[in-house]
């Protein structure tokens, strides 16, 4: 039997190579495997957990949708929609929020990072964000959720919430307990400027990340400037120890070439970094620049994008509202 896949990406601008390698590239692979049913969501309700300019949000919803399409997600094969068009997500989230425990949410490291020192001023939405994420997944009976490493804890919470709901209301297996799909080695792409920091949309330095909308020149320039170290090119995987920048660049190279880290090291062992960086630029340009070009093209046709989202949200809404209806019956409404 095929897998039921659900995943989401926030429309908060600056989609980057980390989002691509950690998530979107895998979405496309899963979509193209036989018998899988895939749902990919632009999670705009998650985006508003921090302040958004409404006009920019609208542009970013379309840009994230364009990035899905440009990367190869096909609306004929997968459901593509934005969360706010399907009200069942908000309803489901409320019901699951009454099952989830404060103690569980208090452990979420992403909330602590995002809220920073002054967590009294963080929105309630930011705090209960992982409950909405659980609703996203559980409303579709997703069996597998492809994400980057940073979402692992949130997925574990989704599993806990599903199990507690089933237990509390004595409905074994009603909510399906989802499995995370996290690619070993390639699930945490780091900043090009600091191999100990995650590549992130919010890094003030644009040189720290390759955006999915970068031009060829920008890609080449950023890789040229990417940090390495003064030691010779590694000879084997052990040589990567305590060399986060080199490990990261090799990870990017390996993932885009669909080969193991070991094979990439063998390919360049004995050579110098400039040769490696040249090949790295070539593969990033080859894989990312066509996406960038297509995003630009798609963004000229808002009607097309809005239509994809509308059609997708009707399909998604049919599934999610059915599940919410059953949840309501179980709760006694």
Determine what percent of the chain falls in helix, strand and coil, rounding each to the nearest 5. 60, 10, 35
Report CA torsion sign: 257, 260, 261, 264.
negative
**Which residue number has the CB closest to ligand TYM?**
22
Residues 25-64 close enough to bind ligand TYM by CB under 6 A: 43, 46
Structure tokens at 138: 């559980």
Task: Copy the structure tokens of residue 86.
Answer: 């399907």
User: Least CB distance from residue 102 to ligand TYM, whole Å?
Assistant: 20
Return the C-alpha torsion angle 205, 73, 187, 116, nearest 10: 50
Cα–Cα distance, 97 to 287 (Å, whole number)? 40
Q: Is 250 in the site for ligand TYM (CB under 6 A)?
A: no
Coil, helix or strand at residue 202: coil
Report d(CA 330, CA 169) in Å as an integer.
7
Nearer to ligand TYM, 205 or 236 (CB): 205
Tell me how far apart the alpha carbons of residues 64 and 70 are, in angstroms, rounded to a whole number.
10
Two tokens, residue 319: 């599934």
Say what the alpha-carbon torsion angle 313, 316, 322, 323 is, to the nearest 10 degrees.
-120
- The verdict on 22 binding ligand TYM (CB under 6 A) reads yes
Question: Which listed residue (4, 5, 8, 308) binds ligand TYM by CB under 6 A?
Answer: 8
Cβ closest to ligand TYM, residue 18 vs residue 195: 18
* Candidate residues 4, 25, 159, 198; the one interacting with ligand TYM per rule CB under 6 A: 198
Q: How far is the CB of 27 from ligand TYM (least distance, A)?
A: 9
Residues in contact with ligand TYM, counted by CB under 6 A, come to a total of: 26
DSSP H or E run through 145: strand 144-146
**CA–CA separation, 41 vs 312, rounded Å?**
9
Question: What is the number of alpha carbons within 13 Å of residue 234 lying toward its C-beta?
Answer: 24
Residues 137-166 that bind ligand TYM (CB under 6 A): 137, 145, 147-148, 150-151, 154
Which of 56, 236 has the CB closer to ligand TYM?
56
CB of 235 vs ligand TYM, minimal distance in Å: 26
Cβ burial, residue 219 (10 Å; 0-12/13-18/19+): buried
Out of 66, 199, 220, 256, the residue judged to bind ligand TYM by CB under 6 A: 199
Of 4, 6, 203, 214, the one binding ligand TYM (CB under 6 A) is 6
10 part of the interface to ligand TYM, by CB under 6 A: yes
Q: Is 195 in the site for ligand TYM (CB under 6 A)?
A: no
Residue closer to ligand TYM by CB (options 111, 276) is: 111
Closer CB to ligand TYM, residue 198 or residue 287?
A: 198
Q: Which residues are catalytic?
A: 114, 198, 201
Residue numbers of the site for ligand TYM (CB under 6 A)? 6-10, 18-19, 21-23, 43, 46, 133, 136-137, 145, 147-148, 150-151, 154, 187-189, 198-199
């Amino acid at each position: 039997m095929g897998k039921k896949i659900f995943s989401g990406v926030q429309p908060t601008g600056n989609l980057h190579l980390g989002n691509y390698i950690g998530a979107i590239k895998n979405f496309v692979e899963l979509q193209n495997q036989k018998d899988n049913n895939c749902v990919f969501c632009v999670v705009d309700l998650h985006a508003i957990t921090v302040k958004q300019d409404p006009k920019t949000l609208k542009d970013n919803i379309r840009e994230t949708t364009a990035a899905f399409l440009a990367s190869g997600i096909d609306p004929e094969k997968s459901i593509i929609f934005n969360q706010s068009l399907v009200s069942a997500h908000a309803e489901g989230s409320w019901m699951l929020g009454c099952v989830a425990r404060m103690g569980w949410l208090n452990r979420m490291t992403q909330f602590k990072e995002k809220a920073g020192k002054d967590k009294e001023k963080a929105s309630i939405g930011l705090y209960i964000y992982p409950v909405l994420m659980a609703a996203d997944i559980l409303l579709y009976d997703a069996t597998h959720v492809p994400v980057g490493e940073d979402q692992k804890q949130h997925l574990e919470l989704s599993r806990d919430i599903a199990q507690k709901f089933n237990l509390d209301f004595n409905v074994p297996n009603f909510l399906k307990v989802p499995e995370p799909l996290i690619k070993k080695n390639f699930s945490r792409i780091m900043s090009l400027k600091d191999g100990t920091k995650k590549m992130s949309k919010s890094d003030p330095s644009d040189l720290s990340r390759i955006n999915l909308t970068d031009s060829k020149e920008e890609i080449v320039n950023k890789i040229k400037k990417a940090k390495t170290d003064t030691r010779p090119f590694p000879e084997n995987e052990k040589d990567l120890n305590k060399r986060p920048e080199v490990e990261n660049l090799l990870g990017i190279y390996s993932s885009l070439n669909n080969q193991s880290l070991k094979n990439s090291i063998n390919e360049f062992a004995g050579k110098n970094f400039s040769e490696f960086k040249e090949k790295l630029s070539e593969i990033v340009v080859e894989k990312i620049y066509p996406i960038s070009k297509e995003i630009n093209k798609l963004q000229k046709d808002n009607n097309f994008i809005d239509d994809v989202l509308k059609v997708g949200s009707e399909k998604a809404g049919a599934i999610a509202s059915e599940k919410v209806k059953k949840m309501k019956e179980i709760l006694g409404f």
